[in-house]
Structure 1
Amino acid sequence: MIEVSNLAKRFRGSARGAGNATTRDPRDHDGWFHAVRDVSFRCGAGEVLGLLGPNGAGKTTTLRLLSSALRPDAGSIHANGIDLLADPLAARKHIGFLSGSTGLYGRLTARENIEYFGRLHGMSPPYLKRRCDELFDLLHMHEFSNKRADQLSTGMKQKCAIARTVVHEPQIVILDEPTTGLDVMSAKILLDFIASYKALRIPLIFSTHHLHEVEKLCDRVCIINHGKTAFHGTMDELRHLGASADLYDAFVSVVNQEA
């Protein structure tokens, strides 16, 4: 279980430009850009939570706060009884985080990249080998395991990045737009991989703009707009609040209501 309450994060200066009274982002004031103003949600064991919102809503900043890459100005993050703000090292041990960039070393092969990150987590060589073999089976990576990362296709790099993210068997998995730019076959493999975490009883949070992925995988959704939680609940609750059985229409309705 991961519980996020009232997260807030601001950055010095204007992030959106001056604009005018009708176009200025409401988060931009007093010489600060309040990227995240009040975000709360939870994701239980075996649940998949979809993090949704318009471009620039604050989703990526929220995920970076969860991963301990950024420290919030306010709010709390608890995972399995651990205060992740008080103990960020524990957060890094327990959480697998995929950022918007793959974070791979170009001169290393796909397998060398994953093994390197496994060693950083203190995994023993026999355990690391077994874990890599398992991930390469699940993500269909054997055919390019010995290919340098700078020679991999977009889909191959993303698979490699996913494997790097979960090689240490984290208790919570956080993925920032994992299927962006992937072809249908690669996206299907990654979506099946995400779905497999339900059986492992591991909370998984992922951000996406593809609502068909949300409909296929998610137990709960959190919509962020202008740095605030505009909705948090089940798919049926979202449809009810948005007054539409169509998920796209319900999403747009909720965002417009919050605006």
Structure 2
Amino acid sequence: MPHEGGRNSQMPISRFFTSSGMNHDSHSSLGEVSLRFRVDRVEEDEYGYGYKMLHLSYRGSVFGKLIVKPNGYYSAFVSTHYRLVPNEYVEELLKINGLRYNVYYEQWGERALFTVKLSDDFEVAVSNSIDASLALKAYVTRVNGYNVFIPVAYRKHTRNIKPEELVELLKELRADEYKAILARLGSEDFDAKLTEALEAVLPKKDLALFKYYLATSGKVSKLEAYSRLVRLVMSSASVSIVTKIERLRAINAVFAISELIREA
């Protein structure tokens, strides 16, 4: 994994702050943002792929970090415990491990969702970001023809993060491990009462599409309904990765997926 340099390149304070040492105005990928700090020292780390981390200190204590993208724009202000994992590095790991994948970038490349095809009908997704909005996390997303959203691995962006371990874990996953969850969902009919709970989760357009699916499909199982909902959310082109994951987690709560995982 790309690692921190020796912090041997102290950045001139004048490049980032006014003569008072209080203010620094900068452009970020979200537009023009004003950042206000009291700082007396800034140190730089190289993270590979053109990324840098600025360590901000005052009176001898580092109080935060600024992530700087290869184009020189700031991405995020993060805590001292944050460890950057470039999306490019995650993609490189998938490549060198021979995994078949597609990647969707958003927010000027700050967030990434990798869809990895482990076999003909077994897929996972891996999320990551450089702006602290997404954890490095893997989810099973397709099993035996059904769309699902089952979390399988999670790595916090802290000093001990090892994305290599997560990618190795993906290679060990097998579709058979999730048959019990599918069987349990498939054995129960979808209860229309669950639609009421989904009204607080789905936007009106998706809810209308789901109700139309129920109305035209007759009796469906929980598995069929759950699969259709996951597909609806994942196929929403105008919705951010962060919002999609939030909605899918909420759908999982409605269908009690966490309980099924524990019982499996």
TM over 0.5, yes or no?
A: no
Higher RCO, 1 vs 2 (CA within 8 Å, ≥6 residues apart): 1
Would you tell me which structure has more helix in proportion to its own residues?
Answer: 1
Question: TM-score, normalised to structure 1's length?
Answer: 0.24
Higher Cα radius of gyration? 2
Higher strand share: 2
TM-score normalized by the length of structure 2: 0.24
